[in-house]
Chains A and B, each alone.
Chain A
Amino acid sequence: MRKKFLLIVLLSTLLVGATAMAQVTITFWHAMGKAHAPALEKLTQDFMAKNPGIKVELIYQGGYGALSQKLIAAVAAGEPPTIAQQYENWTTQWLDGLVDLGRYLPPEVIADIHPRHLQLFEGRLVTVPFNKSILVLYYRPDLVPVPPTTWEEFLSLACALTVDLDGDGKIDRWGTGLRPPNPEIFLAFLAQNEGSILSDDWTQVTINDTKGLETAEFVAKLAKCALVQGGYLSDPFGLGQIAMFVDTSAGYPYNLDAAKRGGFPMAVAPVPCRKTCASMIQGTNLAIFAMNQTEEQIQAAAKYIAFLLEPENTAYWAKETGYLPVTISGFESASWQAFIAERPEQRVMTEQFMVGGFGQLLHPNYWDMREALITYYELLLREEKAPKAVLDELAAELQALISK
């Protein structure tokens, strides 16, 4: 009896061991907090149920700041995870350590990535879009019955809504809000005016041309009717200090929460336009690290990424989190179309993306360029310098960064 028992134990140990050996484990470092994590966990469970040979370990690393620092340390040590969420300007820092996805993802999967989301680094596909959002206009319908559609309307409405409500000489409510650490709003307006940071071939700085100057002058005027502060705008919005503001669509649940706390309605409209209705795409991508991984792990990771890009999955992810779908088939899927038919704000976000979504500049020095953008954007917003001086000095710094 006892021998038999031992034999069973031995056999089952061997069996478990054998399946564990056959299983490929991949790690996925992400920054999806409790609002978004359940959707990611569900998709991952579905994937593992379909692919019993692959185990995906989801590892939450905290916010984006913590994730970037941990990735820096892991890459420097030569032991990065298999997959990680990352912004474009992180990717350029460890480009040499990433897998060329063009060699691992089926061509039809790559062809399905929405062109506005598709980004190539030095001509290679090393990332696929994951949690992507877009800048839209949030507003209070009780103060803004008809949302502005042009710069002029936006500016005059913002200034009309900037008021001292209790007559103490201090402004209590601003027409809008602008955050110095978020120069993407400026970049969206710049693109709407058909301007750009650099020329297409990256040899010239173009931010201080006429189009750039018009944009900076507009933003400087807007700043006079805006609450300028570093923190997220949902807090002052909830306190009734802002009537409308441009923010990423990913902020929707937070902004809605704030509006509820403040006891007023909130709605979403496209960003007011100029020559075009461009708006900047935000959010991170996924990449696979080649360092410290076996060929099996890389293939398993590519399979997982392809799974996340399947139309029903990207649509599910977008529905649950408020991010955008990332593939053509995802946008066109019946479930996404049905979803936006009953959610007007989601329809606005999708349309905003389709009309004018554009992504980050993929220059290898964009990290430093963005730091310079933030510095000078803040000088502009806080009226420390005239628009022309801001752009000329910024251009000089960017010029030095192009050639570096």
Chain B
Amino acid sequence: MRIPHEWRRRSFWVETAQAYLFLLPALLVIGVFTFYPFVNAFVLSTQRVSLVKMVDGQRIPFYREPVGMANFQALLRDRDFGRALVQTSVYVGITVPVTLILALALATFLNKGLRLRPFFRLAAFLPYITPVVAISLVWQWIYHTDYGLLNYFLGFLGVRPINWLNDPRWTLPAVIILNVWRYVGYQAIILLAGMQSIDKEYYDAATVDGASGLRAWWHVTVPLLTPQIFFVFIIGLIGSFKVFEEIMILFQGPGPLKSGLTMVYYIFNQGFERFKFGQAAAASVILFAIIFALSLFQLTVTQRRVHYER
């Protein structure tokens, strides 16, 4: 084996040690709060946990027993898990594309060189940086059947008051509307940054070739924006699969007839409300597998379609 040349230098080792020293705090935090729980969740998904168990006269806290695949089998039998899986998929399937399309429209609009652009930019970004709990509390009022802002405005269009928070059919739409509103600004800002970095030459060339307006947007802007579109799509997808807090606050539970039960809500309920840590871990392993598979699929499929400017 050939030893790399740098290895002979003392300064190389000093620098490497220094680099790791600087990385250490971050590694510690990620290790303790991300990697350890990550590995532990896999282990836990094959165990049954008692919070405390008397074994030979000794009280053992968090007593674990291996149960093999029993937790996963229990998930398959649990109707609520199926419900959570379906409802989460519906939520993701609508929220992600709708947010992206609206964000693209908003970014295009902001890119038009409006006079009040900084204001709009701030207005669009505010929902994203506001804590979700605060947002949900405000939307609880917006969605109020009799006194809510949304029904008030819909009333002008002749729409009869919708029972947003107490009618199972409107649970997912309510959560989708809230989250589209919440993320559209953030995604638009990222897309806007991408749009502004597109060289004007491309548009000039397009104009020379007789393409302008919508056609230039479709044939120049969108293709050159694919890295940003791809990024917000993936981030949106992962984030949407984890929808939970807004449901918890809006409905003070999983919604009427569990119409707001999502995967993460299910995991929370199993683990921290029902003391079934093994089953909660099993559900989170499945959620991980789904997100992981989708991300891989995205990566391989879209890579061929993503255009990078040279």
Contacts and interface: CB of A to CB of B under 8 A. Distances in A.
Interface stretch (B175-183, B234-242, B249-257): B249-257
Contacts of A76: 49, 51, 61-62
A69 B99 CA distance: 34
A180 interface: yes
Contacts, number: 63
A230 B252 contact: yes
B295 interface: no
Interface stretch (B22-30, B52-60, B89-97, B111-119): B52-60
B257 A378 contact: yes
Interface in B244-296: 251-253, 255-258, 272-275
Contact of B275 (A65, A181, A367, A382): A367
Interface in A74-97: 75-78, 93-94, 96-97
Interface in A319-368: 367-368
Interface residues of chain B: helix, strand, loop or mixed (majority): mixed
A384 B257 contact: yes
A230 B260 CA distance: 13
A96 B52 contact: yes
A346 B49 CA distance: 44
Interface residues of A, number: 30
A27 B146 CA distance: 46
A294 B229 CA distance: 60
Contact of B59 (A69, A97, A229): A97
A379 interface: yes
B61 A181 contact: no
A230 B52 contact: no
Contacts of B252: 230-231
A239 to B, nearest CB: 8
Given A72-B51, A291-B52, A96 B59 contact: yes
A93 B51 contact: yes
Contacts of A142: none
Most buried by A among B61, B62, B166, B251: B61
Nearest to A229: B166
A77 B62 contact: yes
Contact of B256 (A96, A290, A291, A378): A378
B51 A97 contact: yes
A379 B256 CA distance: 10
Contact of A375 (B61, B258, B273): B258
B51 A94 contact: yes
A382 B51 contact: no
B8 to A, nearest CB: 49
B52 A382 contact: no
Interface in B26-61: 49-54, 59, 61
A72 B268 CA distance: 13
A230 B59 contact: no
A228 B257 CA distance: 12
Contact of A371 (B50, B53, B274): B274
Contacts of A181: 253
A291 B272 contact: no
Contact of B272 (A69, A180, A368, A375): A69
Given A77-B62, A180-B256, A291-B59, A72 B272 contact: yes
Interface in A205-242: 228-231, 239
A96 B54 contact: yes
A375 B251 CA distance: 15
B272 A379 contact: no
A172 to B, nearest CB: 9
Contacts of A368: 274
Interface residues of B, number: 24
A100 to B, nearest CB: 12
B274 A75 contact: no
Contacts of A96: 50, 52-54, 59
A97 B63 CA distance: 12
Contacts of A231: 252
Given A72-B51, A96-B54, A290 B59 contact: yes
A69 B59 CA distance: 20
A78 B62 CA distance: 8
A96 B253 CA distance: 30
A203 B61 CA distance: 30
Given A72-B51, A94-B51, A77 B61 contact: yes
A145 B258 CA distance: 38
A77 B63 CA distance: 10
A97 B61 contact: yes
Contacts of A384: 257
Interface in B142-166: 146, 161, 166
Contacts of A379: 257
B51 A75 contact: yes
B280 to A, nearest CB: 11
B61 A382 contact: no
A379 B258 CA distance: 10
Given A230-B251, A230-B252, A230-B256, A367 B274 contact: yes
Interface in A347-404: 367-368, 371, 375, 378-379, 382, 384
Nearest to B79: A375
B82 to A, nearest CB: 14
Most buried by A among B166, B251, B275: B275
A289 B253 CA distance: 30
A180 B259 CA distance: 13
8 contacts: A72-B51, A75-B51, A76-B49, A96-B52, A291-B59, A378-B256, A379-B257, A382-B257
Interface of A: 65, 68-69, 72, 75-78, 93-94, 96-97, 170, 180-181, 228-231, 239, 290-291, 367-368, 371, 375, 378-379, 382, 384
Rank and list the top 8 A-B pairs by shortest CB-CB distance, nearest first.
Answer: A78-B61, A97-B52, A76-B62, A96-B54, A75-B51, A94-B51, A229-B166, A93-B275
Given A65-B273, A230-B253, 7 more contacts: A68-B272, A75-B61, A96-B54, A181-B253, A230-B251, A379-B257, A382-B257
